[in-house]
Chains A and B, each alone.
Chain A
């Protein structure tokens, strides 16, 4: 494809035309140091993105090792159960702490949030860079712990196993998670302040795109919940080194106390993962349906409702732990309350398709895959919130399947979808959409083959974290492993399609999908300071003023036709 110049037809935004050709945040300054000391939120976001994708590759390799080992009962590729235990621990710890928690807020959020909001940067650019280097420190410590003897505690670090195991890497990895926690807190703090203080005139709370609402709700959980994890991990380190007896029953401590502390963070952490994913899905569905999101306020409020409920349901991880029947009953009842705002969101997304103008772009395929997978993930949550069925299903593959549907099938699929949605904006290149869509389908099929099988496996009584298993379970394990290889192939294709855009992709127009929010109204890639002057803010879900432009292969927004921007233009809008 030949390069196509920036749009010249239609009323062009001042933010786009005032720049020399080819000057954007990627090219504005050059050299390695201009990247590693950058304060630009987009560059920090891009660095986060590559780092997180690197960690995703590593965590994925461990997942494939685990699945391969489980092809046969007994030893398959390792003779040593301990090696297997280290693999699944590493897979879990890397995917949770290094990939899913930072993926959407820190990587995509950093790049998109200020542009979408109409700001030049986040509120505290230096803190932003610092939080990235905290992530790097945490990642290095996590890898270093491997060289120091690894760790076999499971990602949950349950005591007293974690305080007594002889594996040498436990303290380094606890330190890593502690440091990563601060990276997460600082990102959250930055976003809360940015959303409160840096909205341009006209960007009222209820004009904010839903992705920003989701990031805002996430940031609040990050700031409030993560310190609890920090303190808990610190106590665990102290317990392991000097044996103070907080969790050790031999000294009057209580191992169940650790579980309360841990899940008080880690349950809200599930919403740190899923809320921004829901935000991305709201954006992708609205933009590709080219109509106002159905029930904007219900979706915005349900984000906040989920954020609040997330703090009072942690006990549902402990129904079999010896917690009293009264507490179990209360936690079960409250856990069901989270189902309601989640269901409301799904209904709203489906209703947004109704009488829309649905373009089946690659990001839209990911959004539809999300709806399918999140529905299954959410509905199987009912089995686990219910007391009597949870007793049977707890700590089996049913739970493994459930949280993979939510954390991978929903959070990570949304992240990949968001990556496809904003890739042209971030790098200024279009990827091969046909290949991207095929890859999406392969991942989707592979995912269901892998994890739906595990629902059956778990209901039949296969416990999780098992190196060896009864021969009768083998057929399910083989199917699941085949699914995981399929998924891996899909991810390789995705990488080919995305990286291919750098070599063969046509230059991306400013607005390839017909979006209306502010990031689609600055160039692709955006200039280093996003907007020359504070942009005018219209209704970010009014697509009646978005027009297709054959010349650029993209859309343009006729801001002057929006009565909220240009009060005299009421008649023009009504004509559509």
Chain B
């Protein structure tokens, strides 16, 4: 008893010390992965991990106690056939039973309090948080930043709280960043929020992601450190494909990245659109569509132009003017032209892909033979230069 109460008071003091640290604005370094937990890279991770430690130690103590008593009694009071049964046992012992009802009660109240305090930190986003809008759909993420830039991976500024405004365009999803200890369900028809703060910049996009089995975190400037983002609410076929990376950039790089990201499409000249923007946009389509003729959740893009031109009536006899018209409509109102044997499952990309982006997709489809169907590599890259 005295041991467990010590653990609790120890953890409580640690938790309050941690809270004080967070308020004073001291930066919290990413923690190394332990036997149980992955790297803790956000400011709330420390509180969560301490709560977990407290509960773990209570569990170890109780489990050991129960196991030792069980084995000891079984060995000590082992009975063999034919022997007389012992009769000197107690039937019940009310003070003992009341004691072992009260002790767990006190302990669980303690756990509740510790857990509740660290939960308040998780639940309430600070007022000065940087807002990012998140749209989850089957089976992709879209992150939208205040200046209108959008991205498939999540980019956040280091050293300031980030609030995610979550919405779903179809079914339930859930945003989960294990290294930040953040999780929130995304419910169609309502907005939900999640927030976190990372004090240290992570690796940059394009570099290989960190080795998650690495025993130690290579300091704040470690370029090989990015974080995983998952969907944790079952959402169908592509549920396990909704994995992206989180990049934490320092304040200056983040601002620059946001500006570049909002203009990347505008900067590409019209004639280079199909091979510069096409493959980049296709990254969002490849969960369901292939380039090499493999049947996916949706039809393959291989030979799509010829097919559409050859059969001008797709899906219940509806007509379209040009094949470009077909592609455009399929992106914005996918239910209109459903290819037979495929389900009406594609979400609309209205508001996510503008006219120029759709032009890029159309150009990409038109020049598909110039790309390697397996790797998606542009084969005429040298000629283009």
Q: Interface code B100-124, partner A: CB below 8 Å = 1, 0 otherwise?
A: 1100110011011011101111111
B109: A residues at CB distance < 8 A? 336
Contact bitstring A565-576, B, C-beta under 8 A = 1, else 0 = 000000000001
Asked if A448 lies at the interface with its beta carbon under 8 angstroms from chain B, I say: no
Question: How many A residues, CB 8 Å from partner?
Answer: 93
- Identify A389's interface contact among B48, B89, B188, B345, CB under 8 A: B48
Asked whether, in the complex, the Cβ of B192 is within 8 Å of the Cβ of A469, the reply is: no
Chain A residues, Cβ within 8 Å of B82: 548, 550
Complex interface: chain B residues within 8 A of A356 (CB): 73, 77, 79, 86, 89
Asked whether, in the complex, the Cβ of A358 is within 8 Å of the Cβ of B69, the reply is: no
Q: Please pick, from B59, B70, B234, the residue contacting A353 in the complex, using a CB distance under 8 A.
A: B70
* Given the contacts A321-B187, A332-B116, A470-B212, A355 and B100 also touching, CB distance less than 8 Å: no
The answer to whether B325 has its CB under 8 Å from any CB of chain A is: no
Q: A332-B115, A347-B100, A382-B59 are in contact. Are A290 and B172 (CB under 8 A)?
A: no
Which of B217-225, B235-243, B355-363, B366-374 interfaces with chain A?
B235-243
Chain B residue at smallest Cβ distance from A374: B66
Which of B23-31, B178-186, B310-318, B326-334 interfaces with chain A? B178-186
CB contact list, A313-369 vs B, under 8 A: 320-322, 325, 328-329, 332-333, 336-337, 339-340, 343-344, 346-348, 350-351, 353-360, 368
- Collect the chain A residues with CB atoms within 8 Å of residue B235's CB: 161
Alpha-carbon gap, A408 to B174, bound state (A): 27
Residues of B within 8 A of A254 (CB): 189
What is the CB-to-nearest-CB distance from A17 to chain B, in angstroms, rounded to a whole number? Answer: 25
Q: A421 CA to B158 CA in the complex, in Å? A: 62
Bitwise, A285-319 to B at CB < 8 A (1) or not (0) is: 00001111011111000000000000000000000
Query: Across the interface, do A461 and B179 meet the contact criterion of CB distance under 8 Å?
Result: yes
User: A130 in the interface, Cβ–Cβ < 8 Å?
Assistant: no
Check: B343 CB closer than 8 A to any chain A CB. Answer: yes
Partner pick for A355 among B86, B123, B240, CB 8 A cutoff: B86
**Distance from A9 Cβ to chain B, minimum over Cβ atoms (Å):** 14
- State whether B171 touches A354 (Cβ < 8 A): no
- Tell me if A350 and B187 are in contact (CB < 8 A): no
Closest beta carbon of chain A to B229's beta carbon, Å: 10
Instruction: Report B72-100 CB contacts with A as 1/0, cut-off 8 Å.
Output: 01100111111111111111110011001
Question: Which residues of the other chain, B, contact A298 by a CB distance below 8 angstroms?
Answer: 92, 97, 101
Among B37, B79, B241, which residue has its beta carbon within 8 angstroms of that of A468?
Answer: B241
B132 in the interface, Cβ–Cβ < 8 Å?
A: no
Report the Cα distance A376→B56, complex, angstroms: 11
- Cross-interface CB contact of B171 among A164, A322, A389, cutoff 8 Å: A164
CA distance A171 to B242 in the complex (A): 28
B380, chain A: closest CB distance, angstroms? 31
Distance in Å: Cβ of A86 to nearest Cβ of chain B: 11
Choose among B78, B118, B178 the residue that contacts A358 (Cβ–Cβ < 8 A). Answer: B78
The answer to whether B77 and A357 have CB atoms under 8 Å apart is yes
Q: What is the bound-complex CA distance between A159 and B96, given in angstroms?
A: 48
The distance from the CB of B185 to the nearest CB of chain A, in whole angstroms, is 5
In the complex, the answer to whether A391 meets B81 with C-beta atoms within 8 Å is: no
Are A249 and B101 closer than 8 Å at their CB atoms? no
Judging by beta carbons under 8 Å apart, are B187 and A249 in contact?
yes
A467 at the interface (CB under 8 A from B): yes
What residue of chain B has the Cβ atom nearest to residue A353's Cβ?
A: B73
State which of B115, B212, B343 has its C-beta within 8 Å of the C-beta of A166: B343
Which residue in A166, A249, A360, A394 is a CB contact (below 8 Å) of B74? A360
B52 touches A (CB below 8 Å): yes
A337 cross-chain contacts in B, Cβ below 8 A = 108
Which of A85, A296, A357, A360 neighbours the largest number of chain B CB atoms within 10 Å of its CB?
A357
In contact, B228 and A290 (Cβ under 8 angstroms) = no
Question: Would you call B36 an interface residue if the criterion is a C-beta within 8 Å of the partner chain's C-beta atoms?
Answer: yes
Kindly state the separation between the CA atoms of A371 and B108 in the bound complex, as whole angstroms: 20
For A357, give its contact among B55, B86, B171 (CB under 8 Å): B86
- Does B202 sit within 8 A of A, measured CB to CB? no
Q: Do residues B212 and A472 form an inter-chain contact, with CB atoms below 8 A?
A: yes
Verify A465–B123 contact, CB threshold 8 A: no
Q: A249-B190, A295-B97, A350-B66 are in contact. Are A464 and B232 (CB under 8 A)?
A: yes
Task: State the Cβ distance, A149 to closest chain B Cβ, in Å.
Answer: 11
Is there an interface contact between A382 and B58, defined as CB atoms closer than 8 Å? yes
Q: Which of A339, A380, A543 contacts B104 (CB 8 A)?
A: A339
Residues from chain B with Cβ under 8 Å of A546 in the complex: 85
CA distance A375 to B171 in the complex (A): 37
The reply to whether the CB of B3 lies closer than 8 angstroms to some CB of chain A is: no
Residue pair A353, B230 in contact (C-beta under 8 Å)? no
Do A350 and B183 contact each other (CB < 8 Å), given the known contacts A291-B86, A340-B108, A470-B228? no
Residue pair B78, A360 in contact (C-beta under 8 Å): yes
Flag A440-469 by CB within 8 Å of B: 1 or 0 each. 000000000000000010011101111111
In the complex the two chains form, is A461's CB within 8 Å of B230's CB? yes
**Contact of B178 with A466 in the complex, beta carbons under 8 Å:** no
Given known A249-B188, A391-B122, A460-B36, contact A292–B230 (CB-CB < 8 A): no
- A146 sits at the interface (CB 8 A): no
**Interface status of A36 (Cβ within 8 A of chain B):** no
From residue B381, how far is it (CB to closest CB) to chain A in Å? 29
CA distance A253 to B189 in the complex (A): 9
Q: From residue A382, how far is it (CB to closest CB) to chain B in Å?
A: 5
Determine the chain A residues whose CB is within 8 A of the CB of B115 once the complex forms: 332, 385-389
CB neighbours (8 Å) of B100 from chain A are 343-344, 347
Contact indicator A379/B62 (Cβ below 8 Å): yes
CB neighbours (8 Å) of A472 from chain B are 211-213
Q: Which residue of A lies closest to B36 (CB)?
A: A459
Q: Is the CB of B240 within 8 A of A387?
A: no
Nearest-CB distance from A80 to chain B (Å)?
A: 8
18 other contacts beyond A82-B236, A388-B181, with CB at 8 A cut-off?
A: A161-B234, A249-B189, A294-B89, A344-B97, A344-B101, A356-B77, A357-B85, A358-B79, A359-B81, A388-B44, A388-B119, A389-B52, A392-B178, A461-B228, A463-B231, A463-B240, A467-B240, A543-B85
A-B contact pairs, 6 of them (CB 8 A): A295-B97, A297-B92, A336-B109, A339-B104, A465-B239, A544-B87
Taking Cβ atoms with an 8 Å cutoff, the residues of B that contact A are 33, 35-38, 44, 47-48, 51-52, 55, 58-59, 62-63, 66-67, 69-70, 73-74, 77-93, 96-97, 100-101, 104-105, 108-109, 111-112, 114-116, 118-124, 170-172, 174, 176, 178-179, 181-185, 187-190, 192, 211-213, 228, 230-241, 243, 343-345
The 10 tightest CB contacts between A and B, nearest first, are A249-B189, A461-B178, A386-B115, A387-B119, A357-B79, A353-B73, A388-B118, A355-B89, A466-B240, A336-B108
